[in-house]
Amino acid sequence: FKNPVGLSAGFDKNAELINILPSIGFGFMEVGSITARQCEGNVGIRLKRLPKKKSIWVNMGLNNKGANAISNKLKNKKFKVPIGISIAKTNCKETTDTEKGINDYIETIKIFESKNIGDFFVLNISCPNSYGGQTFHNPGLYERLLKEIVKIKIKKPIFVKLSPDLSKKNIDKIINISDKYIIKGFVCSNLTKKHSFRKGGLSGKAVEEKANRMIKYIYKKTRGKFIIIGVGGIFSAEDAYKKIKLGASLVELITGLIYQGPGLISKINSEIVKLLNQDNYSNIKEAIGKGIK
């Protein structure tokens, strides 16, 4: 990774900006979330800015062109930065059935793995605005999903994207199950569902504190065993650096980019270097988890 600042899933849903966005300073990117079949997304208003909260209300519904179309476009392409493939289950009533939902994840993983596309996978089990809700936050169902994924014998690292609304008890169970299988780390976190709107989720500053608490909890609980990608409310180098000192090895953002423009990314990168120097660290690795008491 050229630097620790990446683009979170949900912005470049169909991998259309994959050779453009690295030029504004991103060290890596996630594309998607991608589903086995094409999704049109949810009906009605899907996005709304909440400027006073520095947040965005999101009710997209996993709209994307589907695994086959996107993978065919990316096949044999070379990328400027590491690319993560964010994978979710198709947003339809059919995949609310557990077995069909699992098969949906498996189908997408197999498509991208067979074509050797991407540098890592992210299992998005935490989308707050899809049919059936966050099914695989249920520990028993989560383990069933991982049992099937293991059979594919994937060589690339696999991360799991979690909801910021999970209880510590649920997080503990997910950590224990992940430790038994091939999970490399966690993306902390997705949108929060705890808000005054009837549906959808909130990004940005509305989720920052929850995401930071989750990063700290998982890092401390596992003593740094898992790689953590910190997401939620990054509008400055200080925001990103705080996540790193709480245990994140990498960070991602979208909302800060939308509110403050593309110049934010290079600014964060240059100012993180200054923050490291102030703390007498020579690299990011030395700072990871150092803010935990």
The whole-angstrom separation of Cα 221 and Cα 215 is: 10
The H or E element containing residue 201 is strand 201-202
Per DSSP, the three-state class of 273 is helix
Residue 127 known to be catalytic:
yes
Give helix then strand counts, H and E, for the chain.
9, 11
**194 neighbors 164 (Cβ within 8 angstroms):** no
CA 63 to each of CA 11, 59, 60, 105, 243: distance values in angstroms, whole numbers, following the listed order: 11, 10, 6, 16, 29
What are the helix (H) ranges across the chain?
A: 67-74, 98-114, 139-150, 168-180, 205-222, 237-246, 255-260, 263-278, 284-287
The whole-angstrom separation of Cα 42 and Cα 200 is: 10
The whole-angstrom separation of Cα 228 and Cα 250 is: 7
* Conformation bin of residue 287: beta by default, left when phi > 0, alpha when psi is -120 to 50: alpha
Q: Are strands 158-162 and 120-124 parallel, antiparallel or unpaired?
A: parallel
Three-state SS string across 242-271, please? Answer: HHHHHCCCEEEECHHHHHHCCHHHHHHHHH
The pair of three-digit structure tokens given for residue 227, joined into one six-digit string: 């790689």
Residue given tokens 């290079």 in the structure block: 266
List the catalytic residues. 127
